[in-house]
Amino acid sequence: MIAWIPYAFVRIALVFIAGILTGIYFPLLVKQEYLLPALLGGTALFVWITVALKMKAGALALIILYLAGWYNALLKNEWLLQDSISHLKVPVRVYQAVIITPAEEKNKTWKYTARITHVFTDSLWKEASGKVLLYLGKQGFETPFNYGDRLLISGMPQPIRPPMNPGEFDYRRFLSFKNIYSQHFIGNTKHVTWLENAPPNRIQAFAYRMRHKARQILDEHLPHNRQRAVAYALLLGITDALDNELSAAYAAAGAMHVLAVSGLHVGIIYGLILLLLKPAARSTPGRWFIAGISIAALWFYAIFTGLSPSVLRAVTMFSFVLLAQPLHYRTNIYNILAASAFTLLVFNPFLIMSVGFQLSYLAVLAIVYLYPLLYHSWDAPGWIGDKIWQITSVSLAAQVGTFVPGLLYFHQFPTYFLLSNLFVIPVSTLILIMGLLLILIHALGLPAAWPGKVLQWLIDGLNYVVQTAERLPHALIEPVYISTLQSWMIIILIISLLVLLRKRSAYWTATAFIATVIFAFIQWKRFAENIRPAWFIVYHTPGYRTIEIAEGRTAYCYADSMLLADAEQLRFRIRPNRIRTGVRQVVNYCIEKTTPNKPWFIIKHKELTILCVLKPDAPLPAGKFDYLVAGHGAKNLIVPKHLTFGQIITDGTLTDKEVDKVKQMAEEHNWKLHITHTQGAFKIKL
């Protein structure tokens, strides 16, 4: 217990987080109405023991905190609400919803998050709750709606589907942490009627208007799309303008952190304020003045960027740190960070599942602990050498903190992050300062051509360095696959090694050894189960057909040309399975080029034979096949008597209306059937 005394709020935050995680992973374990009396009763008992009996009740306090975190997670889980649209058992004909995010531009749609307020069912309007993702086709909706627009929408939102391919990112679970369980695709305006603009939050509406005006200023002074995309991301936290190539370049250079407004940007602004007000820091009133000015400026910047979650995280964290600055002799940085995390999680417990939240706090914790050790381990010669070593130490510390989540979530590691950050961090700092200066000068009605030009040169220089780093040999180690359990083993190993640097201990040596052995065993097991065997798989890729045979480290992929050119679909639907199964080389066969003008083609792999039907109403060949793969038009499939197969598999080109027809045909002919549209990808070991 004594060891926890300097880190009291760390313990509070950890117990509270444990309760939140229980509520998230086991939402139906205990009902809210049972938890609340236990929480209130425990609190009353704690007050009685500590006040009336004047006894210590530390263990009871921790139990209360645990129950509070658990209850908070259930309280903020909108899926548990009785009027949630997810629980409606009757069809919804029309519903009202208010847009709660600005439009996000996609290739073919405008994407919004809307909150449902009323639904019309059985000739009756009634109140309802729940968020829905709206996708409005650009052809039908030429101009986007705004935050706070209240809409009348025909049709019924559909539940978000689970992953349909092995290893695919669980988008449904990701959205559930945002309390989103439904989506609705709308093609034209006849299904949507605008009612009014009634923003649910006036401060948020003001923040979005400010961000929109800032974006217009940047549009006026930055002529090229990639200049604008980087400026939007770095200054305003808007990332929808980044193309795949530019994002990949920043990822390969280890510079993605500058494209997400976060602690780095907030720290730069605070550093600038501190530099300008440095003389005031000599007295206690001056330190309080700096803290007040800094907090006001940082929260104004948060509003300026639209109050995005990443900025709110960073500004909240810095606000606690700034409040503690005048009281530095009585504070502990770990308690301050724990207090900021606790505050954020009280308002939104699902933040604990956010990758951005995890990366932010892990990076800061690593910098707080490791940076002083690294920086003071070597006295760099000269002023320039010292600054280079400072940046290097910060980059190394942050990379140690975010190394494991980077492998777990993104399956890659940038090898030149130290080299690129020597340029990226100083230039991104200049871009942030110059961009804010440009917006301020323009807003004041002053000539802003020169800061606009300088901003262009800085962004072009940053993009050039990042793209050059990407082209260096072995710039990115990928794909790397580790399981969640393996990630914990690496974390335990890193912590054990860090402790061993401070004090020699057989206990921590044994801990590091055990973690290494467990990691190696899991890796060997994965290799034996997933990498050594050969696989045959028919992916579910909506609108496309994709068939793949993997053997060892090589995969042979038969797919439509449009899919092979669609990097986003490949990355989202297919790449995760290749990473899990250890595929390093892919041989692509474009179906249109492989089988020009043929209604079918045959895939042979050792003893496996697969008939792939392109035009189901065309004559099919005679023979015996293990599998028949058919897609769009399968309802007109004509199978002659001289053709036999073990199982029929439908691919991603099948339409919703054809599913029932195919099921009916399978029942009539006693076919063994697998529909990827509803059952997910078909995958077997060979």
User: What percentage of the chain reaches a pLDDT higher than 70?
Assistant: 98
d(CA 278, CA 108): 51
Within 10 Å of residue 391's Cβ, how many Cβ atoms? 16
pLDDT for the residue 328: 62
DSSP strand pairing (585-590 vs 600-605): unpaired
DSSP H helices in 411-448: 417-443
Structure-model confidence comparison of residues 267 and 491, the more confident one: 491
pLDDT tens digit string along 138-185?
Answer: 887 878 899 999 999 999 999 999 999 998 989 999 999 999 999 999
pLDDT higher than threshold 50 for residue 118 = yes
d(CA 500, CA 492): 12
Asked which of 199-203, 293-297, 319-323 is least confident by mean pLDDT, the reply is 319-323
Within 10 Å of residue 29's Cβ, how many Cβ atoms? 11
pLDDT band with cut points at 50, 70 and 90 for residue 3: low
> For residue 300, which phi and psi values (nearest 5 degrees)?
-65, -40
Tokens of 120: 């019309």
d(CA 283, CA 277): 12
Closest CA to 107 of 252, 260, 244, 211: 244
> Mean pLDDT, the chain, as a whole number?
88
pLDDT tens digit string along 569-589?
Answer: 888 899 999 988 888 899 999
User: How far is CA 190 from each of CA 105, 136, 152, 401, 402, rounded to the nearest angstrom?
Assistant: 21, 12, 11, 51, 47
d(CA 291, CA 273): 10
Cβ atoms of residues 437 and 451 within 8 Å: yes
d(CA 177, CA 174): 6
Cβ atoms of residues 302 and 270 within 8 Å: no
User: What percentage of the chain reaches a pLDDT higher than 90?
Assistant: 40
pLDDT higher than threshold 80 for residue 637 = no
pLDDT higher than threshold 70 for residue 305 = yes
pLDDT higher than threshold 80 for residue 120 = yes
In the three-class reduction of DSSP (H, G, I as helix; E, B as strand; rest coil), residue 263 is classed as helix
The 3-class secondary structure across 282-325, one letter per residue, is HCHHHHHHHHHHHHHHHHHHHHHCCCCHHHHHHHHHHHHHHHHH
pLDDT band with cut points at 50, 70 and 90 for residue 107: confident
DSSP string, 563-626: HHT-HHHIIIIIHHHHHHTT--EEEEEEHHHHSTT-SEEEEEETTEEEEEES-TTS----EEEE
pLDDT higher than threshold 50 for residue 2 = no
pLDDT higher than threshold 70 for residue 127 = yes
- What mean pLDDT is predicted for residues 297-323? 84
Tokens 């700034």 identify what position?
322
Closest CA to 406 of 469, 350, 372, 363: 363
pLDDT tens digit string along 190-242?
Answer: 899 999 999 999 999 999 999 999 999 999 999 999 999 999 988 888 888 88
pLDDT higher than threshold 80 for residue 634 = no
In the three-class reduction of DSSP (H, G, I as helix; E, B as strand; rest coil), residue 549 is classed as strand
Look at the domain 85-200 and name its fold. Answer: OB fold (Dihydrolipoamide Acetyltransferase, E2P) (2.40.50)
pLDDT tens digit string along 12-65?
Answer: 999 999 999 999 999 988 888 889 999 999 999 999 988 888 888 888 999 999
List the chain domain ranges: 2-75, 85-200, 217-254+416-476, 266-346, 354-410, 484-526, 535-685
Structure-model confidence comparison of residues 583 and 328, the more confident one: 583
pLDDT for the residue 1: 42
Cβ atoms of residues 39 and 33 within 8 Å: no
pLDDT higher than threshold 80 for residue 383 = yes
In the three-class reduction of DSSP (H, G, I as helix; E, B as strand; rest coil), residue 259 is classed as helix
Contacts of 427 (CB under 8 A, 6+ apart): 458, 461, 462, 465
- What mean pLDDT is predicted for residues 441-449? 87
Considering the segment(s) 535-685 as one domain, its CATH architecture is: 4-Layer Sandwich (3.60)
Tokens of 625: 């096949």
Structure-model confidence comparison of residues 617 and 604, the more confident one: 604
